[in-house]
């Protein structure tokens, strides 16, 4: 009896797997036939689809003709004495002015003429994200999608990404200089940077003192040794001498710290340090070909589905009603 039950179960499993295999096969065959049908349909009606694409290209060219060209560039900077968060918020005040098209305020903040400020499309700062917490930036958070709860990545607090967009690339040098003046002129940022430099000078001076102390202590213990001191143990007197210590590793650690402080003091003297300067603005960000290709492709796809529905509308409606 048990053997019959086991045989029936095995037969049922074989039948189940067989049906599943046939079902998967039918799905792939159906997809393959649908793809072949869509390709053949497109080839048969390619002349109509080309007309749709040409019409879309013409629309793209018209939009291009009525849209001003703009050029973009970016830099990577290190804020000194202030966090990346505060510096980004400070720079993005300019971004708000650009959004509101407040030319007068923008020209005043950047200390430039209104005619030059009108040529600015946008100025915005972004965080740089370290995706694997190795201290190296992996990508720029253009869309502000960083999640503080994600423990696998973090924002760099010693680097920022600044993007500038202008309608006239000949005005970029003036905009760049105005942006640098803006980043340097805030009294709060200046004061924080001066405090940072004073702290570095104090750290360097204190490190020098510690190095001298260790050097003097090493000479005393290594060359003259420790004074012999009588020690009583088990009613016996003997002379104990402490082994001399070498402070080479400690001194080298302090020297490396001192070099780090000096490098930061000498290289990062300003309120911010440019790590990677602005790139070239030779090519427009919205060229003509981009408009023609994008709108031509959109109308090509839209025209394809329009023809498909128009020609097979009755069959599609019957199929929808049956479902």
- Asked if residue 259 belongs to a domain, the reply is yes
**Poorest-confidence range of 192-206, 225-239, 270-284?**
225-239
> In this predicted structure, what is the pLDDT of residue 128?
94
DSSP 210-256: HHHHHHHHHHIIIII-PPPEEEEETTEEEEE-PPPP--HHHHHHHHH
Q: Mean pLDDT throughout 293-316?
A: 88
How is the chain split among helix, strand and coil, in percent rounded to 5? 60, 15, 20
- Asked if residue 191 belongs to a domain, the reply is no
- Tell me the pLDDT tens digit for each residue of 209-251: 888 887 777 666 655 444 444 445 544 444 445 555 556 677 7
Q: Around 139, how many Cα atoms within 13 Å sit in the side-chain half-sphere?
A: 9
Tell me how many domains the chain contains. Answer: 2
- Asked if residue 305 belongs to a domain, the reply is no
> In this predicted structure, what is the pLDDT of residue 300?
93
- Asked if residue 161 belongs to a domain, the reply is no
Q: Alpha-carbon distance 64 to 296, whole Å?
A: 13
- Asked if residue 222 belongs to a domain, the reply is yes
- Asked if residue 181 belongs to a domain, the reply is no
Contact 276/78 with Cβ under 8 angstroms? no
Q: Does the pLDDT of residue 54 top 50, yes or no?
A: yes
> In this predicted structure, what is the pLDDT of residue 164?
92
Residues 6+ apart with CB under 8 A from 267: 273
Query: Residue 232: beta bridge partners?
Result: 237
Q: In what order do the strands lie in the sheet with 154-166?
A: 139-140, 120-130, 154-166, 71-79, 272-276
The first and second tokens of residue 159, run together, are 């680097």
% pLDDT > 90, the chain: 32
Domain boundary among 268, 283, 307: 268
Classify 14 as helix, strand or coil.
Answer: helix
Produce one character per residue of 25-63: b if its CB has 16 or more CB atoms within 10 Å, e if not. Answer: eeeeeeeeeeeeeeeebeeebeeebeebbeebbebbbee
Distances (CA, A) of 138 to 20, 124, 135, 158, 162: 45, 19, 9, 14, 16
Residue 45 or 214, more confident: 45
Q: Alpha-carbon distance 196 to 225, whole Å?
A: 42
Angle at 204 between CA 201 and CA 209, to 5 degrees: 130
**Domain containing 257: what range?**
196-268
- Asked if residue 134 belongs to a domain, the reply is no
- Asked if residue 217 belongs to a domain, the reply is yes
């Amino acid at each position: 009896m048990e053997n019959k039950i086991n045989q029936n179960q095995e037969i049922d499993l074989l039948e189940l797997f067989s049906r599943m295999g046939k079902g998967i096969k039918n799905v792939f065959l159906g997809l393959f036939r649908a793809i072949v049908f869509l390709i053949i349909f497109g080839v048969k009606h390619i002349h109509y689809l080309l007309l749709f694409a040409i019409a879309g290209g013409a629309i793209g060219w018209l939009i291009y003709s009525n849209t001003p060209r703009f050029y973009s560039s970016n830099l990577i900077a290190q804020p000194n004495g202030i966090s990346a968060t505060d510096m980004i918020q400070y720079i993005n005040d300019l971004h708000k002015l650009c959004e509101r098209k407040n030319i007068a305020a923008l020209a005043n903040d950047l200390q430039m003429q209104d005619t030059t400020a009108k040529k600015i499309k946008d100025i915005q700062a972004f965080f740089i994200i370290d995706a694997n917490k190795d201290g190296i930036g992996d990508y720029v958070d253009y869309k502000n999608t960083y999640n503080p709860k994600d423990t696998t990545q973090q924002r760099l607090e010693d680097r920022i990404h600044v993007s500038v967009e202008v309608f006239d690339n000949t005005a970029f040098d003036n905009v760049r200089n105005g942006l640098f003046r803006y980043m340097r002129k805030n009294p709060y940022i200046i004061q924080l940077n001066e405090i940072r430099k004073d702290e570095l000078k104090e750290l360097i001076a204190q490190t020098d003192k510690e190095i001298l102390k260790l050097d003097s202590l090493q000479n005393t213990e290594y060359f003259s040794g420790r004074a012999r001191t009588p020690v009583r143990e088990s009613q016996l007197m003997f002379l104990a001498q402490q082994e001399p210590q070498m402070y080479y590793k400690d001194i080298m650690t302090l020297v490396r710290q001192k070099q780090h402080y000096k490098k930061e003091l000498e290289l990062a003297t300003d309120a911010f340090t440019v790590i990677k300067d602005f790139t070239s603005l030779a090519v427009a960000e919205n060229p003509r070909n981009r408009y023609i290709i994008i709108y031509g492709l959109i109308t090509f796809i839209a025209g394809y589905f329009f023809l498909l529905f128009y020609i097979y509308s009755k069959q599609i409606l019957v199929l929808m009603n049956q479902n």
